[in-house]
Every structure is written in structure tokens, then in C-alpha cells.
């Protein structure tokens, strides 16, 4: 099991999750601590997903994947944050370590990274099974897959005879 332990005398901040909260945490720690700390961010995706704008694309019949993703590597490089694209396996708080499988080696043995401070910003997981029928009939715009699925569904509805009218407003 490879170990990424190279503390070099600096405290190691490990951030799990690379969307809004994780990215902001990594950047804020860098801004506040400068070069006094080493920062690593792990996420399964190599992009930031701008979730709040997915509904706008869905209702404008645009694929959210074409407009709502921002590559994360250049942002993290600018902030001197090490990025590992991987699936997180386990967190051992006693050993202060995280095991993961890098995406480019899916199915291979896990790797381990130790930390001094851990930020967990992995986002939400929707529980479609908690609402009867939602998995089969419900819709959400919480990610690219579901946003695109809803966009296609709504597009089909507009071609019914008679068609339906859809309206979407932002703000309050």
C-alpha cells in the first residue's frame, strides 16, 4: 500500500471534496497560512460543478455539462494545492490517515495519505429511496447526470400534442 507521507516538517492539511466548500477551504487555508502548510485536495472529479446554474441550462434546453463545469487543476495549481483525483475508501481518525484509489488506476490497491488536519467537504448524497416513487418518477438538478436527464424529459414534454409550457425564474 503506497504511502504519500512526505511531511517535510510542515503541517499537512487534507481536504476531501473539491466543489465549493472544499475548494474554498483549500484556498482560504493557503491564503491564511501561506507556505507554512502543505495542502492536498482529493476529489473523484477533476472539475468544479456549478450546481446553482444547472436549472437555468435545463430550462433553456442546454446540456449543463457544456456550461457548468470548471477544471479544478489550474485553480489548485495557482493556489499551490496538490490535487489527487481519486475515490476515497476510508478515513482512520486514530491514525490520521485516508485511504483512496487514484482514478487512473481504478481497481488497483489503495494508497494512504496521512494528515495533521482534515477537512471533509464531500457534498451531499441524495436518498432517492426515502421518498416513495422518487427514484423512478422524481427529478433533481443536483448533478450533471440528473440535470441532463431532466432536460431531455422536459424537451420531450414540449413536443406533446398539445405541448406544455414551462417557466423558470431565478431569485425570490
Domains annotated on the chain, with CATH: 12-124+131-157 (3.50.50.60)
Q: Which residue has the higher pLDDT, 26 or 56?
A: 26
Q: How far, in Å, CA of 121 to CA of 52, rounded?
A: 17
pTM value is 0.81
In this predicted structure, the answer to whether residue 168 has a pLDDT above a threshold of 60 is no
DSSP designation for 164? P
Please say whether the beta carbons of 66 and 44 come within 8 A.
no
Q: What are phi and psi of 122, to 5 degrees?
A: -85, 0
| Cα–Cα distance, 108 to 112 (Å, whole number) | 13
Rounded to a whole number, what is the largest CA-CA distance in the chain?
69
Distance from chain centroid for Cα 172: 27
Q: Is the pLDDT of residue 172 over 50?
A: no
What digits encode the pLDDT tens for the residues 124-152?
877 878 888 888 888 888 888 889 999 88
What pLDDT was estimated at residue 2? 45
Strand order in the sheet with 97-102: 111-114, 97-102, 82-92, 38-43, 12-16, 117-120
Amino acid at each position: 500500500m503506497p504511502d504519500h507521507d512526505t511531511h517535510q516538517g510542515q503541517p499537512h492539511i487534507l481536504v476531501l471534496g473539491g466543489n465549493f466548500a472544499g475548494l474554498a477551504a483549500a484556498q482560504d487555508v493557503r491564503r491564511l497560512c501561506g507556505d507554512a502548510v502543505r495542502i492536498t485536495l482529493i476529489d473523484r472529479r477533476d472539475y468544479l460543478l456549478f450546481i446553482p446554474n444547472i436549472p437555468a441550462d435545463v430550462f433553456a434546453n442546454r446540456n449543463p455539462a457544456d456550461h457548468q463545469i470548471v477544471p479544478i487543476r489550474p485553480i489548485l495549481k495557482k493556489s499551490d494545492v496538490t490535487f489527487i483525483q481519486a475515490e476515497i475508501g476510508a478515513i482512520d481518525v486514530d491514525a490520521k490517515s485516508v485511504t483512496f484509489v487514484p482514478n487512473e488506476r481504478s481497481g488497483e490497491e489503495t494508497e494512504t495519505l496521512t494528515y495533521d488536519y482534515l477537512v471533509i467537504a464531500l457534498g451531499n448524497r441524495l436518498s432517492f429511496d426515502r421518498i416513495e416513487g422518487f427514484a423512478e418518477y422524481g427529478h433533481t438538478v443536483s448533478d450533471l447526470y440528473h440535470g441532463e436527464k431532466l432536460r431531455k424529459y422536459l424537451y420531450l414534454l414540449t413536443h406533446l400534442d398539445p405541448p406544455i409550457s414551462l417557466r423558470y425564474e431565478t431569485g425570490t
